Copies of this chain bind each other. A is one copy, B any other.
Amino acid sequence: MQGRKVAIIGVGMTTFGEHWDRGFRDLVVEAGLRAIQDAKLTGEEISAGYVGTMASGALVGQEHAGALIADYMGLNPIPVTRVEGACASGSLALRQGVMAIASGLHDIVVVGGVEKMTDLDTAAVSEILGGAGDQEWELFMGATFPGLYAMMARRHMHEYGTTKEMLSAVSVKNHWNGARNKYAQFQKEITMEDAMTAKMVADPLGLMDCSPITDGAAAVILAPIEKAASYTKKPVEIVASEQASGTLALHSRKSLTSIEAAKIAGAKAYKTAGLTPKDIDVAEVHDCFTIAEIIATEDLGFFKPGESGPAALAGKTRFDAEIAINTSGGLKAAGHPVGATGIKQACEIAWQLRGEGEGTQVKDAKIGLTHNVGGSGATAVVHIYKQGW
C-alpha cells in the first residue's frame, strides 16, 4: 500500500442478537471500550475515529453518528466521521481509518461499526434495507433483497447446476461455526434437513438461506505498524484495502452470477498485497444469503465459477479444510447488524491470526481476508491481513 503500514492493535465487539434493552449508543460504546481494553491504551491516545452505520437515521432517528460516538465514548474533540455504503459501511469505515494512518495524518484511530435494527417491525426494516439497492427502479417496483438474491441464485443454478443442497451446505457449515462463537446470534447447529425444509422466503432461498436482522457493534483500533509493538505482541497488519463500485440495480449488470465490483476489489487487493487466492488461510465473506457466499468464493478466486457449490457440499470451506470460510458463522449464523458486519469480519480475522479462534481456530492461520458487499454488490470492499509480528 501507499504510505505508512497499518496494523490492528485491538478488537472488540458486543454479542450480536436482539438487544431489546439497549440502544444504538450503548452498543457502539461497549464495542469501542472492549477494543480499547484489548489494545491496552487510553482514550487520550486516539486521534481520530470512523464509524460505519447504514441507516441509523431511518432505523433509530439518529444521524450524525460520528459526533454521537465521539461524545459518548469521551473522545471529544477528536474528529469522528460516519461512513456509509449500505451493508459494506463497516469496511468502508475501516478503509478510511487505514487511509488516515497511511497518509500520516493520524496515528491511533478507532474504527467502529454498528446497527440497531430491532426497534422497528420487520416490514419497515425491509423497506429501509431496500434503500441499499436502487430505490427508484428496484425497491419502488417491489423488489426486496431476498428477491434480488433469489434471482442471482436461480441464474447460478441455471448456468452452473448449483443446487439447493449446495446452498444448504453453506448454511449448515456457518451454523456449525456460529455454534462455537460466543458473540454469534445463533449459537446453534442445524441439519441439512433443517436447511432444506425451512420456510420459503424467495424461491429458491428459504429461511435458512437468509441472514437475520440483528443488533450489534464491533470496533478495531488501528496504529502505524512501527508503533504497534508498544501496544501488543500480536499486531495484525492490513496489507491491502481495496474498494470498487458496480451498478446499483441488478438489472443493469452483465452477469447475475458474479459481482463485478467484488472481483475488481479482490484482484486489486491481491495485487497490492503481492498474494494470490492460494495464500489465504481464512476468509470472512459476505453471506447475506447462502448464494452470496457461493458467489463470493468464486469472485475471490478460491474456486472457479460453478465450483463453489460443489466445494461447499464437499466440506472444502470448513475451518479445518481447504480454505476456511466464515469461521465466525458468517452473516448467516453470527448475525448481520448491517454497519457492524465489516468490522466484525476484521475482528474475526484478527482473532484467527492471533490464534484466538477458539472452537473454529484455523491451524497455522497466517494470512486472512475480508470481503464485504453493499446491497447486491454496488459497493465491494476487500481487505487482506497478515501476522505483523
Residues of chain A at the chain B interface (Cβ within 8 Å) = 1-3, 23, 25, 54-55, 57-58, 60-68, 70-71, 75-86, 92, 95-96, 99-100, 102-105, 127-128, 130-136, 139-140, 242-249, 252, 260-261, 264, 374-375, 378-379
Contacts and interface: CB of A to CB of B under 8 A. Distances in A.
Listed from nearest, the 8 A-B pairs whose CB atoms lie closest are A103-B103, A67-B378, A79-B243, A70-B245, A63-B131, A64-B86, A62-B135, A77-B244
A247 B63 contact: no
B79 A82 contact: no
A32 to B, nearest CB: 14
29 contacts: A2-B104, A2-B105, A54-B57, A54-B64, A58-B58, A61-B130, A62-B131, A62-B135, A62-B136, A64-B85, A64-B375, A64-B379, A66-B85, A66-B92, A67-B86, A68-B134, A71-B134, A71-B245, A71-B247, A77-B245, A78-B245, A79-B244, A81-B85, A81-B243, A83-B83, A83-B84, A96-B96, A99-B99, A99-B100
Contacts of A102: 103, 105
A374 to B, nearest CB: 6
Contacts of A66: 84-85, 92, 245, 379
Nearest to A60: B135
B105 A71 contact: no
A57 to B, nearest CB: 5
B131 A57 contact: yes
Nearest to A82: B84
A258 to B, nearest CB: 13
A64 B131 contact: yes
A205 B248 CA distance: 43
B55 A63 contact: yes
Given A2-B104, A82-B83, A374-B67, A260 B60 contact: no
A304 to B, nearest CB: 22
Contacts of A248: 64, 67-68, 71
A279 to B, nearest CB: 23
Given A67-B245, A83-B82, A103-B2, A57 B60 contact: no
A252 B100 CA distance: 29
Contacts of A103: 2-3, 99, 102-105
Nearest to A57: B58
Given A99-B99, A379-B64, A79 B128 contact: no
A246 B133 CA distance: 34
B85 A82 contact: yes
Contacts of A133: 64
A66 to B, nearest CB: 5
Contact of A63 (B54, B61, B76, B252): B54
A44 to B, nearest CB: 14
Nearest to A4: B103
Nearest to A136: B23
